[in-house]
Structure 1
């Protein structure tokens, strides 16, 4: 792969530049990291045309063995270039090194093999048996086939994980893809495109990788008549616009959007363990995770005690240089994002929340202190809107029913958590929360084999697992006359 400053887009099997570029910065220092091609609508048109041609005129969608072989090759290439990708991810995303050994890089690489394995054994046809109808006997069956050309649009927070969670099942299903990286982290996504071009046998046009700072490029991908499926991860406001735009051509749309997930600590829980878990969870990748539990619901009579324990946990979070293996929390992605987080914290305090700790910028770079707000009104902005920063809002509840009501008092429904000494009680409570994923006493649901997605305005559809694969398949039903009844 080339040096970060010289990255190229991948269109129809060729690495191409653009007439102009845009900068990307190291969020830990604020310094210029490099420049990415500022792709145009013409680039996007070429990428869609290449994906359409590869789908319509080659045997990619029907040759299972070829797809398995290409996925295995992609996995090998990712593994062989793992350390280059690691250093780039740390520099551009601001992800702590230790996080790249988990969900920022190492775990996502395994997604590719998961779908290669699934593809080898997946049954694309189902026999529905025979029926008698209209004087004849009919055999019926269902076949599943690739949905077509996929536009995959990424956010900045987990570019490796989200790219692979989109392209691996799409490719396995037989689709072709146009992948657009986030403008804040273009180099990481372009590196994936270069790796595909230079170190795999994936045919030209099957996957295309774009970078652009221009909103019209994303708009073209979501409205183009030759795009059959749109998969988008990002803000709910953008997701709404994509869904509305896709309606004109009735595209299939997968949306993984925002979250305002609640962690409920019941009165019988281990407060020390739950407090530490809450503190480190909200500081994971500086709070830049849609499924992080940013609301902490606690029994009113234990509110102050639990707040003290969470504050002590936050004090143990090692904030600093993401290249240092001991760092547990790095920077926010940009000055703009830090301004947003700081503004929400200040408004929360003005609205009556208690600032227990944090609430300050850390220089240089785009760091923000782990921040704890107590006695938060469950209807306030800080309890209802996604912050995407290391800010935890503690909300007291009166009883279990009140906790469930507060947890469900959100337009989002992505994730949640509960801590209780009584596991059966915890499971019963979890089933009452309207979210797509749920953690019980620290359980980790996240994995290549587990469907991920949300209820309500947290999205539509599921990513990962078998469900994530089937998002990229269409079903076709068949029937044939076996023999007329009079001949039976």
Structure 2
């Protein structure tokens, strides 16, 4: 905080390995006063330093941060596996390496971006004027992040916010404080980022996030998490009319068309749906299959899920590790109970895996027999739980896919690529994968329609969330 590593006024709180339930150690437990000081530091750094206007310096600092994190990649990899329960293979992608490398893209963008656009001369109301439009930083950004992909989400906020010239107060989730704290440590010790530009505030107190959103010194809040919490963030921010960027929940559909390779599509749906124990907002958890091949699709998907299983995140072969906490496991089990009460059945899974008495585990599960209006099919479960639903052709598949309060992501698999692309265009979601295409990348905007959020993260669109627009006219 303010360029220094300091203890929390609230003492310390424990961080737990979700695969074993062992205590990994403690993190600084910040208080409301600590948050107040962090906001003050960010405000001072924005108002009193040249950070916001020195584009070349910011680009250099972002590259320093990238290199500092890369030097500590082995340490961060082990930390992420242990604190997040992330499967090892994912740390070579979205759980670590990819978001670290993406910082270079934002550094390049700082140097290439058109910060000023000349509109030329005009005579509005007969008054000769030379007009230009400039883009500049919003100010102090409050970033509140979840636990499921901490490096990806923390850096997807820090990268563009800093590139744009803002200062940041980052409040990470209590479940994964170390992942954020190490980033703060690298910033303080291995970069030239001035004191106060980045302030990482770890705390067991969720109320500190609300404090951040209410504070009038904060100009923009960037929040990733549940839709329910997103509503609270909007309400808290409304009092000061600050800008709010929200990346929220999803219940994304995986649409299998009747000309698709059913075995390949359903096997891929199984893999995608339980990666990282299904703890991803954009994961496709509703599988929509042709009605006439429903039973075959159930057999293929259930077989793939059973084969993948739930395993030790340290193992290179593991796809589905533990869920983050006992509380999250209980929440998932509540949905499994609801599914049965609503007439559903488990084609595989439905409980805790045998032989895993320690850790927070749920078997990869496939639910059949539900309709799209059941709670397990409509609400975000955030676990390794998939619902399979029949459809009666392309129009019906689109109808079911879009019959959701969410609109974050989706997938379409079909033999005729033009037909699959046409279905993808009809899905009301922010991202869509066609036949296994990967949309993830620093240059690709990510975000959702409807209750999946407001605004975009990543890409130029995500960068511009952190900018203001100023119009200047000079008399000539």
Match of 1:415 among 405, 409, 413: 409
Q: CA deviation at 1:316?
A: 2.4
Q: Which whole-Å deviations, capped at 9, do the CAs of 1:133-181 have from their partners, x for residues lacking one?
A: 3333222110000000000011000000101000010000000000111
Q: Distance in 1 between matches of 2:443 and 2:403?
A: 30
Alpha carbons 1:318, 1:326 under 8 Å: kept: no
2:35 aligned to which of 44, 49, 52 = 44
Check the 8 A contact 1:375/1:396 in 2, yes or no.
no
CA distance in 1 between counterparts of 2:281 and 2:327 reads 18
**Corresponding residue of 2:7:** 17
Indicate the SS of the match to 2:426. coil
Alignment of 1:199-348 (within 5 A): 199-348=190-339
State the distance in 1 between where 2:231 and 2:126 align: 50
Trace 1:28-427 onto structure 2 (pairs within 5 A).
Answer: 28-362=19-353, 363=356, 364-427=358-421
Distance 1:134 1:336 in 2: 64
- TM value normalised by structure 1: 0.95
Tell me which residue corresponds to 1:432: 426
Return the match for 2:444 from 435, 446, 450: 450
Alpha-carbon distance between aligned partners in 1 of 2:447 and 2:247, rounded to the nearest angstrom: 6
Q: Which runs of 5+ in 2 are unaligned?
A: none
Q: Is the contact between residue 67 and residue 172 of structure 1 (CA under 8 Å) also seen in structure 2?
A: yes
Give the corresponding residue for 1:441: 435
CA distance in structure 2 between the aligned counterparts of 1:440 and 1:90, rounded to whole angstroms: 30
Segments of 5+ residues of structure 1 without an aligned counterpart are 1-10, 483-488
State how far apart, in whole Å, the 1-side matches of 2:462 and 2:350 are.
38
User: More deviation in 241-250 or 452-461?
Assistant: 241-250
Structure 2 counterpart of 1:4: none
Q: Distance in 2 between matches of 1:318 and 1:349?
A: 21
| Counterparts of 1:380 and 1:318, CA distance in 2 | 26
Q: Tell me, in whole angstroms, the C-alpha distance in 1 between the residues paired with 2:187 and 2:123.
A: 51
8 Å CA contact 2:136, 2:469 repeated in 1:
yes
Cα offsets for 1:335-359 (capped at 9, x unmatched): 1111111110121022111210001
Q: Give the secondary structure class of the aligned counterpart of 1:212.
A: coil
CA deviations on 1:221-257 (whole Å, 9 max, x unpaired) are 0010000010000010110011111111111110000
Please state whether the residue corresponding to 1:368 is helix, strand or coil. Answer: coil
Distance 1:328 1:434 in 2: 29
In 1, Cα distance between equivalents of 2:197 and 2:293: 56
In structure 2, what is the Cα distance between the partners aligned to 1:206 and 1:258?
29
Check conservation: 2:345, 2:367, Cα contact below 8 A.
yes
Give the stretch that moved more between structures: 219-228 or 349-358. 349-358
Distance in structure 1 (CA, Å) of the matches to 2:314 and 2:388: 31
Q: In 2, Cα distance between the equivalents of 1:320 and 1:431?
A: 36
Structure 1: distance between partners of 2:153 and 2:126: 53
Residue 318 of structure 1: CA displacement? 4.8
CA–CA distance in 1 between the matches of 2:57 and 2:312? 43
- How far apart, CA to CA, are the structure 2 residues paired with 1:133 and 1:391? 60
**Could you say what secondary structure the match of 1:184 adopts?**
coil
Cα displacement (A) at 1:290 = 0.2
Q: Give deviations 1:259-300, integer Å, cap 9, x for gaps.
A: 000011011001011011110011110000000001001111
Q: CA RMSD in A?
A: 0.9
Find the partner of 2:457 among 452, 463, 484: 463
Structure 2 Cα separation of the partners of residues 401 and 216 of structure 1: 45
Post-superposition offset of 1:125: 0.5
Give a deviation string over 1:8-54, Cα, whole Å, max 9, x none: xxx10010002421111000001111111111110100000000000
Deviation at 1:471, TM superposition (A): 0.5
CA gap of 1:360–1:134, structure 2 versus 1, over 3 A, is: closer
Secondary structure of the residue aligned to 1:16 is coil
Moved more, 143-152 or 400-409: 400-409
Partner of 1:5: none
Alpha-carbon distance in 1 for matches of 2:83, 2:268: 27
Q: Deviations over 1:399-425 (max 9, x none)?
A: 221111111111100001111111111
SS of 1:303 mapped into structure 2 = helix
- SS of the residue aligned with 1:238? helix
Aligned length: 472
Structure 1 residue ranges (4+ consecutive) displaced by more than 4 angstroms after TM superposition: none
Distance in 2 (alpha carbons) for counterparts of 1:219 and 1:339: 25
- 1:432 shift after superposition: 1.1
SS of equivalent to 1:177: strand
